[in-house]
Amino acid sequence: MIPLWMYLLVAAALFCMGAYAVLARRNAVAILMGVELMLNAVNINLVGFWRYQQPLNMAGQAFAAFVFVIAAAEAAVGLAIIISVYRQRKSVIPDEADTLKG
């Protein structure tokens, strides 16, 4: 049987890739995709811990399901914002949307 740490390792790698994408990509769509990666890394952790630590407790699975729903909603809202920004500025580069600069 595959040991738990391997799942955790995959999840950590996935999270790091997602974080890098969020921090480094210039395209907002790509950033959004990075966010999705990070969420799914969390999902892997949740499901992994549930399977190995508390198989009788359904909370891990339930959390994962909630995260999917939240991720879908977040993607919808995020894409809507990106489209709205694009209509205004003909650009999907977040660095260029710095109106809130102090």
Partner 1 sequence: MNLNDILSNPDLLPWLIPVGPLLAFFIIMLATNRAKMVPATSHEYGGHHPDYDGMKVPVVTLQSRILSVTVGMLGTLTAWVLSLITVSNAFGAQHFGEEVFGDRLNWLATGVGEFTMGVLVDPFTTVMLIMVPLAVTMIFIYSIGYMAHDPRQSRFFALISLFAGAMLTLVVADNLLLMFVGWEVMGLCSYLLIGFWFEKESAYKAAIKAFTTTRVADVIMLLGIAYLYASAGTLSFRDILYNEAMLEHLASTPAIILGGWGLSAAGLIGVFLIIGTIGKSAQFPLHVWLPDAMEGPTPVSAMIHAAAMVSAGVYAIIRMYPLFEAGGNPHAGEFTTPLMLMAIVGGFTALFSATIAVAQNDVKRVLAYSTISQLGFMMAALGIGAYIAAAFHLITHAFFKALLFMASGSVIHGMEHGEHHVHEHHAHDEHDEAHGHDDHHDHGHHFDPQDMMNMGGLRKTMPVTFWTFLLGGLSLSGFPLLTAGFWSKDEILADAWLGLTHGYGAPAFVFIMLCLAAFLTAFYTMRQLGLTFMGEPRTEEAAHANLGQGIVSFTMTLPLIILAFLAVVAGFAGVHPDFPLFGAIFSPEYNWFHHFVGPTLLHEPASIDFSIVPVLFSFGVALGGLGLGYWMYWRKPLEAGQPDPLVSILGTVHPVLKNKYYLDELYATLFIQPSQWFSRVVVSDFMDNGIIDGVLHLIARVFTWIGDLIKNLNVWLIDGVGDGIPELVAIFGTWFRRIQTGRIQQYMLLVVIAMIVIALIFAVSSGFLVQAAG
Candidate list 1, 2, 55, 99; residue touching partner 1; CB under 8 A:
99
- 85 scored as a contact of partner 1 (CB under 8 A): no
Tell me how far, at minimum, the Cβ of 82 lies from partner 1, in Å.
Answer: 12
Candidate list 23, 55, 87, 88; residue touching partner 1; CB under 8 A:
23
With CA atoms as reference, report the closest residue to 10 among 46, 52, 41.
41
Give the DSSP letter string of the chain. Answer: ---HHHHHHHHHHHHHHHHHHHHH-SSHHHHHHHHHHHHHHHHHHHHHHHHHH-TT-THHHHHHHHHHHHHHHHHHHHHHHHHHHHHHHS---GGG--TT--
Site for partner 1 in 31-70 (CB under 8 A): 31
- 88 scored as a contact of partner 1 (CB under 8 A): no
Candidate list 12, 19, 44, 47; residue touching partner 1; CB under 8 A:
19
Locate 64 and state its tokens.
Answer: 């994962």
- 10 scored as a contact of partner 1 (CB under 8 A): no
Can you give the binding site for partner 1, defined by CB under 8 A? Answer: 19, 22-24, 31, 94-95, 97-102
